Structure 1
């Protein structure tokens, strides 16, 4: 994202001419939007970086570690079938096999272990897990289904590959239309004069907001529409500008339209300063909606970053903390894989396996 221009009404130099309440609110809202945009961009960069590292580094290591655990299941299975294995040892081995194999099949997709699992569970894996994989109903439930790497550095970290906010703002016109449809479908329509007046006021405000955004849009369209431009270079320039204008209009982004107006000198500080309070109040209503939408988008990014990292949400400027923890998890995973490789060699020996089983306590 390119650096955005801060749109604000400057304080008059002459004393005795303070900004009006709507002017002050306009400045507060535009500044808040600029801050939110910066924070959202920082979160996007952080999320993209952490996700890229997890896909490129963490998941391959996790896969190798889980393949070693699958081999451990097979070692336990072979030990179970040895003629010198006692009944007590068989129970312990079955307990280990069912616990490890279930996780590897259920969470990591190692379906080739189903035959071994079913050998120790008369119901079979598919019957045992039937109906357990319903889709989450809410984002919170989805996040809870993801692994928590605070407690297990080797938990599955499958990532949704599409990033971006789940709460992208709709166009002002669509929002007004949805409001109209919703109002029209209500069974309890306003009956009292006060309710009718309130409803009429809401509709007038909605139309005024739509008109405000459309006026800014149409002014830019008249100036920069490329169709009648003869010069090819200028036509290309205007086409690029119109893409930005159309995107701002379709997302109902008043501030983006104002930035474009200022950038291309369609309006200046004097125009903003001389705006009457009534149009400013329409601007402020739209800007308040934008603040709410951006706050929702930021909350969605907080939740997404927390989900892919397995940690509580934190400010994007604390990404170094996530980097540090990811490096710690990677090192832990490497060490655990090395230890498990050695354990596999040891447990292949019958005497060593029996010694291990003596120390194992079933839950």
Structure 2
């Protein structure tokens, strides 16, 4: 879609009727989405290109320090320096961290450590995880609503009803189906009229700019380029783009827009509404892709700046976590420091038992 000046019916706002105001509102909405969607796509593509270079190396550096922490906890456990309550907490932390590092980051060297402290073998645990997640779509960019279940033709126990009630129900259903077909026919007719309105604008441009009968090579090239734009807009059912092309190449003027008939405006507005719906859907898809890449709630992904700021924040947060885990690693190499942490740590969903400090 072209990104030229806003197409509006230009009479004073107080003089516009309801349909003209709606035309302007839809035109403005399309213009906004036309600018926003490429901006969001640029942000998405930039994040995709930066993840392998700016983010993933930091994440793997952080995870490598977690591997060292697991190894430190393993050595401390083997040294048998603590009482049972502390050792229980330590083995739990070893199993939880080792499994995450093996399953999600590929640190297979921790498999023997996991097996040493876990009641189930690592391969069994990985198979169980695979079965739970197999076929499950977790990417918010591609989540799909479940299809509605088909409505049953007859209610439950219908054939147990008295004959006259069955007959009355069937007659009501027949009447409903007739009304449904009438409504569907009306909707199809309206759709045909709406499509015709787009085709009418398209054919006007085709007649004016089709290059086949042009003898002058320079003019033929110009018309070929124009027709490429016209065809692209038509294939996208882009009425606003076609109207802009008509104005750009003097096929219509501003007075033409202001003097559109009631029926023309109705049809134009229906097409523009459809364009808005399609663009809103496209925007939402890109927003959800951004959300999947940087964790920003997709409803908040409304600008390039917002998305990239969130991504940069993620990068800086991982850098900060690396600094912190280096400090933790240095401290936990001292058994007494690790014990201080274990004293306050609680295994989730487990009753805390009092035990002596020693």
The TM-score normalised by the length of structure 2 is 0.72
Aligned pair 1:99/2:96, yes or no?
yes
Match of 2:63 among 66, 88, 93: 66
Tell me, what secondary structure is at the counterpart of 1:316?
coil
Superposed, 1:203-282 pairs within 5 Å as: 203-282=188-267
The more displaced of 29-38 and 334-343 is 334-343
The TM-score normalised by the length of structure 1 is 0.71
Name 1:152's counterpart in structure 2.
Answer: none
| Cα distance in 1 for residues equivalent to 2:177 and 2:69 | 74
Do the aligned partners of 1:190 and 1:196 also contact (CA within 8 Å) in 2?
no
Superposed, 1:115-264 pairs within 5 Å as: 115-121=112-118, 122-124=120-122, 125-137=125-137, 142-143=139-140, 195-264=180-249
CA-based RMSD: 3.6
The more displaced of 125-134 and 298-307 is 298-307
1:251 shift after superposition: 1.7
Name 2:149's counterpart in structure 1.
Answer: none
| Cα distance in 1 for residues equivalent to 2:274 and 2:241 | 14
- Per the alignment, do residues 264 and 75 of structure 1 end up closer, same or farther by CA in structure 2, a change over 3 Å counting? same
Larger radius of gyration: 2
| Cα distance in 2 for residues equivalent to 1:262 and 1:189 | 51
- Per the alignment, do residues 75 and 234 of structure 1 end up closer, same or farther by CA in structure 2, a change over 3 Å counting? farther
1:201 shift after superposition: 2.0
| Cα distance in 1 for residues equivalent to 2:16 and 2:134 | 56
Do the aligned partners of 2:8 and 2:23 also contact (CA within 8 Å) in 1?
yes
| Cα distance in 1 for residues equivalent to 2:213 and 2:175 | 49
| Cα distance in 1 for residues equivalent to 2:211 and 2:115 | 68
Tell me, what secondary structure is at the counterpart of 2:300?
coil
Name 1:36's counterpart in structure 2.
Answer: 33
Name 2:283's counterpart in structure 1.
Answer: 298
Residue by residue over 1:144-192, the C-alpha shift from the partner in whole angstroms, topping out at 9 and shown as x without a partner, is xxxxxxxxxxxxxxxx8xxxx999xxxxxxxxxxxxxxxxxxxx88767
| Cα distance in 2 for residues equivalent to 1:245 and 1:29 | 21
- Per the alignment, do residues 346 and 3 of structure 1 end up closer, same or farther by CA in structure 2, a change over 3 Å counting? same
- Per the alignment, do residues 279 and 359 of structure 1 end up closer, same or farther by CA in structure 2, a change over 3 Å counting? closer
| Cα distance in 2 for residues equivalent to 1:212 and 1:355 | 77
- Per the alignment, do residues 2 and 251 of structure 1 end up closer, same or farther by CA in structure 2, a change over 3 Å counting? closer
Could you tell me which runs of 5 or more consecutive residues in structure 2 were left unpaired when the two chains were aligned.
Answer: 145-172, 348-358
1:61 shift after superposition: 1.2
Tell me, what secondary structure is at the counterpart of 2:132?
coil
Name 1:356's counterpart in structure 2.
Answer: 338
| Cα distance in 2 for residues equivalent to 1:53 and 1:130 | 29
- Per the alignment, do residues 246 and 81 of structure 1 end up closer, same or farther by CA in structure 2, a change over 3 Å counting? farther
1:207 shift after superposition: 1.2
Name 1:6's counterpart in structure 2.
Answer: 6
Could you tell me which runs of 5 or more consecutive residues in structure 1 were left unpaired when the two chains were aligned.
Answer: 144-159, 168-187
Name 2:154's counterpart in structure 1.
Answer: none
Tell me, what secondary structure is at the counterpart of 1:132?
helix
1:224 shift after superposition: 3.1
